[in-house]
Amino acid sequence: MSTKSESEFSNFNFILSAPRSGSTWLAKALNGHPDIFATENRLFGEFCEIWPNSDGSMSPRITFDEFVKQYASFFMYEELGLNRQQFIDRFHRGFTTFLYRFCQRQAGKNIVVDKVTPYLGSTGLVFEKIDKYFPDSRTIQLVRDGRDVVTSGTFDWILKDARGTDRYSFFVEKRPGLSMRRFFDDEMVRRWSQLWIEPIKHFQMRPDGLTIRYESMKQNQADVLEQVFDFLGCPVAESVVQGCLERATFEKMTGRKTGDENQPLRKARKGISGDWKNYFTIRDGEIFHEETGDLLLELGYETDPKWYRQLPDELAFVCG
Q: What is the pLDDT of residue 16?
A: 96
- In eight-state DSSP terms, residue 1 is -
Does a structural domain hold residue 218?
yes
Let me know whether 69 and 118 are in one domain.
yes
Does a structural domain hold residue 119?
yes
Let me know whether 54 and 79 are in one domain.
yes
**Residue that terminates a domain, selected from 218, 248, 278:** 248
Look at residues 123, 137, 143 and name the one whose alpha carbon lies nearest to residue 44. Answer: 123
CA distances from 111 to 9, 80, 107, 299 (A): 9, 34, 10, 30
Does a structural domain hold residue 139?
yes
- 161 with 52: CB under 8 angstroms? yes
For the four alpha carbons of 31, 68, 157 and 212, in that order, the dihedral sign comes to negative
Helix (H) or strand (E) holding 263: none
What DSSP line would sit under 104-173, residue for residue? HHHHT-SEEEEEE-PPTT-HHHHHHHHHHH-TT--EEEEE--HHHHHHHHHHHTHHHH-TTSHHHIIIII
Does a structural domain hold residue 256?
no
Does a structural domain hold residue 38?
yes
Residues near 3 by Cβ (< 8 Å), separated by ≥ 6?
none
Q: What is the pLDDT of residue 261?
A: 57
Residues near 38 by Cβ (< 8 Å), separated by ≥ 6?
15, 26, 27, 28, 30, 31, 112, 113, 114, 115
Residues near 23 by Cβ (< 8 Å), separated by ≥ 6?
15, 17, 115, 117, 142
Let me know whether 6 and 133 are in one domain.
yes
- 166 with 178: CB under 8 angstroms? yes
Let me know whether 36 and 60 are in one domain.
yes
Does a structural domain hold residue 255?
no
Does a structural domain hold residue 163?
yes
Let me know whether 192 and 231 are in one domain.
no
Buried b (16+ CB within 10 A) or exposed e, 292-314: beebbeebebbeeeebbeebeee
Let me know whether 29 and 110 are in one domain.
yes
Per-residue pLDDT of the chain (320 residues; tens, 9 = 90+): 334 444 566 789 999 999 999 999 999 999 999 999 999 999 999 999 999 887 888 999 999 999 999 999 999 999 999 999 999 999 999 999 999 999 999 999 999 999 999 999 999 999 999 998 889 999 999 999 999 999 999 999 998 888 899 999 999 999 999 999 999 999 999 999 999 999 999 998 887 899 999 999 999 999 999 999 999 999 888 899 999 999 887 777 666 566 555 555 555 556 688 999 999 999 999 999 999 999 999 999 999 999 999 999 999 999 87
Does a structural domain hold residue 31?
yes
Let me know whether 183 and 135 are in one domain.
no
Q: What is the pLDDT of residue 3?
A: 40
Let me know whether 131 and 265 are in one domain.
no
Let me know whether 158 and 168 are in one domain.
yes
Let me know whether 56 and 121 are in one domain.
yes
**Residue that terminates a domain, selected from 248, 278, 311:** 248
Predicted structure pTM score: 0.90
Rounded CA gap, 204 and 216, in Å? 19
Let me know whether 24 and 66 are in one domain.
yes
The stretches of the chain forming alpha helices (DSSP H) are 3-8, 23-30, 64-71, 84-107, 123-133, 146-156, 158-161, 166-168, 186-203, 214-232, 238-247, 250-254, 282-292, 295-298
Let me know whether 79 and 201 are in one domain.
no
Q: What is the pLDDT of residue 123?
A: 95
Q: Domain tally for the chain?
A: 2
Identify the domain containing residue 306 by its residue range. 145-207+261-320
**Residue that terminates a domain, selected from 248, 270, 299:** 248
Angle between helices 186-203 and 282-292 (to 10 degrees): 30
Q: What is the pLDDT of residue 244?
A: 93
Sheet of 12-17, strands arranged across:
36-39, 111-116, 12-17, 139-143, 210-213
- 15 with 114: CB under 8 angstroms? yes
Q: What is the pLDDT of residue 88?
A: 96
